[in-house]
Structure formats: structure tokens, C-alpha cells
Structure 1
Amino acid sequence: MSLIVAGRFTTFPAAEAAAEKLYAEGFVEEDVNLFFVNPRGQHARHPAHGAVAGAPPGHLASQHHTRNITAGAVAGAVVGVVIFSAFSAALPSVVIAAGVGAWIGARIGASVGARAAARQALAHHEIVHHEMRNSGVLLSVHVCYENQDHAAQLLREAGATDIERASGQWHDGHWADFDPTRAPMPFGEAGRQQA
């Protein structure tokens, strides 16, 4: 694992100016990386299970809702036909029973679909709500124990906010295992926890 110190900037020019200060103080380009962190709730790396790339939001939920209504209508129609056929009812009565059963089944299917969609929306809201990382340009620096305080001080002087310290994978000049949904460990707290 590598030791990483990072700070958040609101613009790329401000982060680039901070990187220049780091270079002037002896940090090398392979140990400094800039990247943008999306706003909370926009960190999905893959489409939701079954989602179609480029499909409008809610497309998948709409398909499930339609399937629930259709399945409910078919089941209701079958139940209506079976019940009225058991009593040797006339054909018009069986057809009416199938229609009424289909209507009731569709209503039940729609209700089930609406509850599932509400649960899914609530789960998404909870994930977004619990993300603690602010969006912006993150300047990350691969450091060692001896120069981590100096890197944090340079970031602070350059105007960085949310300065953090992390243990992660640093490969080919960037923070390879950065997880935007994981809460950052503020630099001062990270040092106190290790003491």
C-alpha cells in the first residue's frame, strides 16, 4: 500500500498551480495526479443491472412496471375464467369474468410495481445521502512518511480544502484504487489514529 495525501480544489487551474508548487519543492510528476471527482450520487461505474446504455433514466423501472401490469392482467384473466368455468357458466359470463379478472390483476400488478420502484428510489437516495466526499478537482500526492506533512502544508498554502490522507494503490502516476464513495480521512485525524 502507498501513502497518499490529497486536497480538493474548485478549479483545474488552482490545482495545477498547486502541483507546480509541489514540483518546485522536489516532488516529481510521477507522484502528483489531478482528477475530477463527480458530485455525490454520480459515481456509478456500471449501469444498473439490466439497464441499457443510453436509455433514459427510469427506463428499466418502466419496463418492470409494464411487466407487472401484464403479468397481473394475465393471472387475473385466468383466475376469472377458471372460477366461472367451474360453475359451467355461459360463454358471455366467462368472457366478462376474464375481463374483470384481468382488470383486477392489472391493478394488483401496478401496485406491486409501484412499491418496488419506491423501494429502489429509497435505496438510491440512501446511497447518495451517505456519500461524504465533496466534488471538485482532487490533487493527490504519492508521499512517504517523512514528507507527508510537507505535502499537506503545501496543499493547504495553495488553497486546498478537505485535505486527506489515505492508504491506497499508486500505479503509473495515479491513485489506482481511489473510491469516490468512501469517506475521506481528514489529514489531522489520520495522523492521530495511527499514533
Structure 2
Amino acid sequence: MSTIIAGHVQLQEDIERARRALVDAGFDPDRVSGFYVSQPGQHDSTPIGGDHLLSPGAKETPEGVVKGVATGGAVGVAIGAATAPVTGPLGPIVGGLVGGHVGSLFSFSKMKEAGEPEEGGTGENRVPPRLTGMLVAVAFDDAGMEGKAVDILRQIGAQRIERAQGNIVDGDWADFDPTSRPDVIA
């Protein structure tokens, strides 16, 4: 694995300018990559499409809904049983169904706000995702080349410059993960 420095640019022409500037500065042309990063959720990373099998931040949802349905159902059955002399044998059944539904809706009040960490979690929701748009990247093995790569990307107007580890081969960042959290350095 090599060090990769990447930056977001506005236009395809910016990628070509960056490629020329990086090669002129001594970087290997086969280790320079330029491509478009699509919007979060549209990377087709899972067998059913999308980026994640479960939405980040929704890990506790199934457990919360089950608790809400169970609690609401139990309360509904108890109320329905208490009203059985008036409502008949359907009272506990209807009470349980209505209580379960109300309980499942109550579980939504336990949902987190955007950016709020998981219970006992690491707070990974707080790191903003990689930006959509054109990305130009260069890989190198000599640590002394990092400053040069950052300077060149700044000179061509790159924004949100990030550092990563990976492999660029024949102009393709082979192990690029669009869903990974970027290590923004400039």
C-alpha cells in the first residue's frame, strides 16, 4: 500500500491540469487517478444496491420498535381486558393491536438526531462523508513527496485535500472505497 493524496476539483479540465502538473513534478503517470465520486447511497456497494445494508445511525431501530410493540401491546391487552364487560371478547384483542401500533410509533421518539452518536458508539456519524464530485489522486511510496503533492493540488485549486492508503495502478485507484471516511488534511 502506498500513501495517496487526493483533492476535490470542479471540472474535468482541472483533473487534466493536475495530472500534467503532478507528472511534470516527477510523479509516476500510472499512479495518478481522476474520477467522479457519486452521491452517498449511490455507490452500489451492496448486493441490493446502495452503500450499506443498514442505514448508519439506524442500528438500534429494530430493537426499539420491538420493545415499543411489546410494551404497547401488553398495555393495550390490559386495558382491553379491563373493558371486556363493555367491549366483549374482542376488547383485549383490539386493545393489544391498537396498543402495539401506538407503542411502535412511540419508538420513533427514541430516534437519534443527525450526527448524534450511537448508544455506547464511537460517534462515527459525526464525521462528514466524502464529497460528491471530481476527485484527483496521486499515489507514492516516498514520504517526502507528500508535501509536494499537497502543494500541487492546492495550486490547481483543489479543495478538501485528503490522505489515504491504497493502490493506484494504471491510473485506477483500485481499492478506493467511496463510503470510507476521508482523512482531510487541508
Q: State the TM-score, normalizing by the size of structure 1.
A: 0.59
Q: Does 1:139 align with 2:145?
A: no
Matched-pair contact (CA < 8 Å) for 1:5–1:148: yes
Q: CA deviation at 1:99?
A: 2.4
Q: Which ranges in structure 1 are unaligned for 5 or more consecutive residues?
A: 50-60, 85-92, 188-195
- Which residue is 2:184 aligned to? 185
Amino acid aligned to 1:26: G
In structure 1, distance between residues paired with 2:7 and 2:128 = 17
Which of 54, 67, 70 does residue 48 from structure 1 map onto? Answer: 54
C-alpha distance after superposition, 1:8-64 (max 9, x if no partner): 113333223322322333323321122333456777523328xxxxxxxxxxx9xx7
Matched-pair contact (CA < 8 Å) for 1:72–1:102: no
- Which residue is 2:23 aligned to? 23
For residues 26-175 of structure 1, what are the structure 2 equivalents within 5 Å? 26-39=26-39, 45-48=51-54, 68=69, 72=73, 76=77, 80=81, 96-120=87-111, 122=112, 126=116, 129-131=126-128, 133-143=130-140, 144-166=142-164, 168-170=165-167, 172=169, 173-174=172-173
- Aligned length in residues: 158
Matched-pair contact (CA < 8 Å) for 1:4–1:141: yes
In structure 1, distance between residues paired with 2:41 and 2:110 = 17
In structure 2, distance between residues paired with 1:18 and 1:108 = 62
In structure 2, distance between residues paired with 1:116 and 1:38 = 33
In structure 2, distance between residues paired with 1:179 and 1:105 = 45
Q: CA deviation at 1:134?
A: 3.3
Secondary structure in structure 1 of the residue aligned to 2:183 = coil
In structure 2, distance between residues paired with 1:171 and 1:183 = 17
In structure 1, distance between residues paired with 2:25 and 2:168 = 22
Amino acid aligned to 2:19: A
Matched-pair contact (CA < 8 Å) for 1:140–1:175: no
Q: CA deviation at 1:160?
A: 0.3
Greater C-alpha Rg:
1
Q: Higher helix fraction: Structure 1 or Structure 2?
A: 1
Q: CA deviation at 1:183?
A: 4.2
Q: State the TM-score, normalizing by the size of structure 2.
A: 0.61
Q: Which ranges in structure 2 are unaligned for 5 or more consecutive residues?
A: 44-49, 56-61, 117-123
